[in-house]
């Protein structure tokens, strides 16, 4: 039996069953787009591993508790921005709970009080909010420029001792920690392609990796996405044509 210390994040969508009853197809598509466009890219950026998806809920593990909180803040700020453009009855609000604790690892799943406390913190969070345990607060205080509200010790289900809880304020400080999703995604894709190319995946993939790397560099440098695409694409095809004529 393997044990380890980890940051555990539990999330849930508020009013998911109601939303599904009103518009099943639309709600499911919105949930998928959240995961595809925000949650999955940000999880990759901060080294998060999704242990399981439970309909509208998710259980994730992070090696760094600072990264777990930064991930949660970024996701909640991104969701608030998206929801601002939607009518109230079409908004999906997430609750997030984060705990730092000992876990038991069995295969691809994790168990233990550390996991249970994260789930209880999530249930106590306000819609669109984040609750963390005292252990998490101790680790991230002074490392992330965030405002925390002490909610005191709360009695939670199936946990013997009251759990001290803190709320993460999603204010201007939190908004100041957010980073673009697209730029990070392009950079990760470049590294993935470069790794595939260096592993002997063939000349085309190596050229494609250089193309994506050039695109990522131009986007991070502040050049417009279309300009970056155009320039990188022209370079890629020019080199491909030269390669084919030589070969």
pLDDT for 89-132, tens place per residue? 778 899 999 999 888 887 778 888 888 899 999 999 999 999 99
Distance CA 101, CA 80 (A): 29
Domain boundary among the residues 175, 205, 227 is at 175
Helix (H), strand (E) at residue 33: helix 24-34
Segments of the chain assigned E as strands: 2-14, 48-54, 57-62, 93-106, 109-111, 130-133, 147-154, 163-169
Q: In the predicted model, what is the mean pLDDT of residues 169-182?
A: 88
Residue 159 near residue 180, CB atoms below 8 Å: no
For residues 186 and 146, state if they share a domain. no
Q: In the predicted model, what is the mean pLDDT of residues 210-220?
A: 44
For residues 11 and 131, state if they share a domain. yes
CATH for 104: 3.30.70.1230
Domain boundary among the residues 175, 204, 227 is at 175
pLDDT, tens digit, 9 for 90 and up, residues 125-168:
999 999 999 999 999 999 999 999 999 998 888 787 889 999 99
Whether pLDDT at 62 is above 80: yes
Q: In the predicted model, what is the mean pLDDT of residues 26-41?
A: 89
Phi and psi, residue 31, nearest 5°: -60, -45
Q: What pLDDT does 138 receive?
A: 95
Domain boundary among the residues 175, 209, 234 is at 175
Domain count for the chain, please give it: 2
Distance CA 189, CA 133 (A): 34
Q: What is the mean pLDDT of the chain?
A: 77
- 80-107 burial: b if 16+ Cβ within 10 Å, else e: bebeeeeeeeebbbbbbbbbbbebebee
Give the range of the structural domain holding residue 186, as residue numbers without chain letter.
Answer: 181-246
Whether pLDDT at 213 is above 60: no
The whole model's pTM is what?
A: 0.71
pLDDT, tens digit, 9 for 90 and up, residues 4-30:
889 999 999 987 877 787 778 888 888
For residues 23 and 77, state if they share a domain. yes
Tell me the two tokens of residue 8.
Answer: 């555990």
**What is the percentage of the chain residues whose pLDDT exceeds 70?**
73
For residues 92 and 156, state if they share a domain. yes
For residues 240 and 149, state if they share a domain. no
């Amino acid at each position: 039996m393997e044990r380890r210390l980890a940051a555990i994040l539990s999330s849930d969508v508020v009013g998911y069953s109601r939303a599904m009853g009103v518009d099943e197809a639309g709600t499911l598509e919105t949930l998928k787009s959240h995961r595809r466009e925000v949650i999955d890219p940000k999880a990759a950026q901060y080294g998060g591993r999704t242990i399981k998806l439970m309909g509208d809920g998710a259980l994730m593990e992070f090696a760094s508790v600072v990264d777990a909180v930064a991930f949660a803040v970024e996701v909640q700020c991104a969701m608030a921005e998206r929801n601002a453009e939607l009518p109230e009855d079409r908004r999906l609000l997430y609750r997030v709970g984060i705990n730092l604790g000992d876990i038991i690892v069995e295969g691809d799943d994790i168990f233990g009080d550390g996991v249970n406390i994260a789930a209880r913190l999530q249930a106590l969070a306000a819609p669109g909010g984040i609750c963390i345990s005292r252990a998490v607060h101790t680790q991230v205080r002074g490392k992330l420029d965030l405002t925390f509200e002490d909610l005191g010790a709360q009695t939670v289900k199936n946990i013997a001792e009251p759990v001290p809880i803190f709320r993460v304020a999603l204010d201007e400080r939190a908004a100041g920690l957010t980073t673009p999703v697209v730029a990070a995604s392009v950079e990760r894709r470049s590294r993935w392609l470069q790794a595939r190319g260096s592993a002997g995946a063939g000349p085309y993939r190596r050229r494609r990796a250089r193309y994506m790397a050039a695109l990522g560099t131009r986007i991070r440098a502040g050049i417009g996405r279309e300009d970056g695409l155009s320039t990188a694409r022209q370079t890629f095809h020019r080199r491909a044509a030269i390669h084919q004529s030589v070969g």
